[in-house]
């Protein structure tokens, strides 16, 4: 671990399935797994032209871009700690939180940190269980991992195997984390087209899991078109070995071979065809969910968690290439959707791409009940241009809970971590940032913050290449959030931040 009590500060200049009981997980190293469109199976290094390399070096010399690996941040952010990757050496992915623990996904498995002292996090366990992208969440004594790469079987010792083989496996894995130092793999559920991401809808006796996956093919026995919905898994808390798919609600009904979602190319050039969803966010206190579904954004009612009902659906066939994720504000009258232009492996935070692509789209929710509509208001994108050797695009973030304000922290891969205010839907603005200089000036090398979330007074970021970062935000606009304490946080299951924090 590297402690950073006195980091260098330099402000940047802005420039124009079957259940599997008792399965064993190990702590040894393993080879890489894969998933799309998020980085993992894409080349980690791609040569760039000589002119691009020269321009990157010139921008660094001018001070427009930090030196390679140099840390820069706004005056109101302090970098407290960094823990590099260790046993799990592949790509870092998502984060979840519970009490004094942070759970960090990695394409090789997952890692548990004790964050009781945010300035000095300690590794509690590292569990090898390859299967991209190992999207992660926790509920009570259960931990859930998504597998979206075709595997030889459902064990943690599986190897890659073509999806054209019927015996291949993809889906959800369930661990018992009663003993944080020794998690036990207790169940596996196969799902159609695997599980790229997942979202929990917890109840007292059961946990429902909404599984997002996409890209079916007639050649894949377990991923057949049309794949126009999500898998719903029911997990009994006291008997997780009985976990099973209970529904596959269709979200995009239609008569075409891919259902009724966005047709994508060639009808809508540059837009992904909707063949499933990438990620869902639920707001249980309002019985609402928002879906980022490749070529579509949707709003739906989850009063009955086994039968979600679509309320509204929107498209942006001008500026949105791939609807990636969604975040509600606390009052549930806004949704922020992200566009993962370039799949997370491209340089899109530059003057050529501009401010409206690879950005966030802010939508107001107008009306009541089943008449609610998503109304576009504006885009938000970091205006700190990155080098053309840096993958950068809008990615995972969470609310910073301040009453009367809509504040968010968000990962931008090598664009770093951005804190921004969208209280005025039409005029979002950045109020803080943290980033590193490019990993390379000669190659486009994938890295940067995959997820950046606010939890109990601190920002935690899982950097794909550099490891686990802890940041402290000191700003009068965000300071009230320090009073909000949560027992558990899965960002895609948004809490009612103020229900138990009345003081």
Token pair of 385 as six digits: 């241009």
Least reliable range by pLDDT among 203-212, 221-230, 256-265, 443-452: 256-265
Angle in degrees, CA 239, 241, 243, rounded to 5: 90
pLDDT tens digits for 223-275? 999 999 999 999 999 999 999 999 999 999 987 777 899 999 999 999 999 99
Band (pLDDT 50/70/90 cuts) for residue 499 is: confident
Phi and psi (nearest 5°) for 138? -135, 150
pLDDT tens digits for 54-64? 999 999 999 99
Burial of 248-260, coded b for 16+ CB within 10 Å and e otherwise, reads: ebebbeeeeebbb
The residues near 117 (Cβ < 8 Å, ≥ 6 apart) are none
Domains of the chain: 2-489 (2.130.10.10)
Q: Does pLDDT of 380 surpass 60?
A: yes
**pTM score:** 0.92
Q: Does pLDDT of 5 surpass 60?
A: no
Check residue 23 and give its pLDDT.
45
Q: Does pLDDT of 139 surpass 50?
A: yes
Whose CA is closest to 131, among 195, 42, 219, 218?
195
Band (pLDDT 50/70/90 cuts) for residue 480 is: very high
Least reliable range by pLDDT among 50-64, 105-119, 426-440: 50-64
Whose CA is closest to 460, among 94, 12, 70, 90?
94
pLDDT tens digits for 345-355? 999 999 999 99
């Amino acid at each position: 671990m590297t402690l950073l009590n006195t980091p260098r500060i330099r402000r940047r200049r802005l420039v124009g399935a079957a259940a599997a009981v008792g399965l064993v997980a190990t702590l040894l190293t393993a080879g890489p797994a894969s998933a799309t469109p998020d980085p993992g199976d894409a080349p980690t290094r791609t040569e760039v032209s000589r002119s691009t390399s020269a321009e990157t070096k010139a921008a660094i010399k001018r001070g427009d871009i930090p030196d390679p690996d140099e840390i820069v941040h706004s005056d109101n952010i302090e970098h407290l700690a960094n823990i590099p990757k260790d046993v799990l050496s592949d790509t870092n992915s998502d984060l979840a939180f519970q009490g004094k623990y942070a759970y960090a996904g990695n394409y090789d498995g997952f890692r548990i940190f004790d964050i009781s002292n945010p300035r000095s996090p300690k590794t509690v366990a590292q569990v090898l269980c390859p299967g991209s992208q190992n999207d992660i969440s926790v509920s009570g004594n259960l931990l859930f991992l998504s597998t979206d790469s075709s595997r030889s079987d459902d064990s943690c010792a599986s190897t890659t195997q073509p999806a054209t083989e019927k015996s291949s496996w993809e889906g959800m894995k369930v661990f018992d984390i009663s003993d944080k130092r020794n998690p036990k793999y207790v169940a596996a559920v196969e799902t159609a087209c695997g599980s790229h991401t997942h979202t929990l809808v917890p109840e007292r006796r059961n946990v429902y899991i909404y599984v997002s996956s996409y890209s079916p093919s007639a050649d894949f026995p377990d991923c057949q078109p049309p794949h126009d919905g999500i898998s719903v898994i029911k997990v009994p808390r006291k008997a997780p070995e009985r976990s099973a798919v209970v529904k596959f609600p269709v979200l995009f009904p239609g008569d075409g071979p891919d259902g009724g979602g966005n047709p994508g190319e060639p009808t809508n050039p540059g837009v992904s065809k909707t063949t499933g969803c990438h990620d869902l966010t639920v707001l249980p206190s309002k019985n609402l969910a928002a879906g980022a579904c490749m070529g579509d954004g949707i709003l739906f009612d989850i009063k009955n968690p086994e039968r979600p009902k679509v309320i509204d659906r929107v498209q942006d066939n001008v500026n949105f290439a791939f609807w990636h994720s969604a975040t509600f504000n606390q009052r549930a009258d806004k949704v922020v959707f992200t566009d993962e232009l370039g799949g997370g492996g491209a340089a899109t935070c530059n003057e050529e791409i501009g401010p409206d692509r690879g950005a966030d789209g802010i939508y107001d929710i107008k009306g009541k009940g089943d008449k609610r509509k998503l109304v576009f208001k504006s885009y938000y994108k970091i205006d700190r241009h990155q080098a053309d050797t840096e993958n950068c695009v809008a990615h995972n973030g969470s609310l910073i809970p301040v009453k009367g304000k809509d504040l968010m922290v968000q990962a931008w891969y090598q664009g770093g971590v951005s804190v921004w205010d969208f209280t005025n839907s039409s005029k979002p603005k950045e109020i803080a940032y943290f980033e590193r200089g490019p990993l390379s000036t000669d190659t486009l090398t994938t890295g940067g913050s995959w997820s950046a979330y606010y939890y109990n007074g601190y920002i935690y970021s899982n950097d794909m290449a550099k490891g686990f970062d802890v940041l402290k935000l000191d700003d009068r606009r965000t300071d009230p959030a320090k009073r909000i304490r949560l027992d558990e946080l899965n960002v895609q299951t948004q809490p009612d931040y103020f229900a138990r924090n009345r003081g």
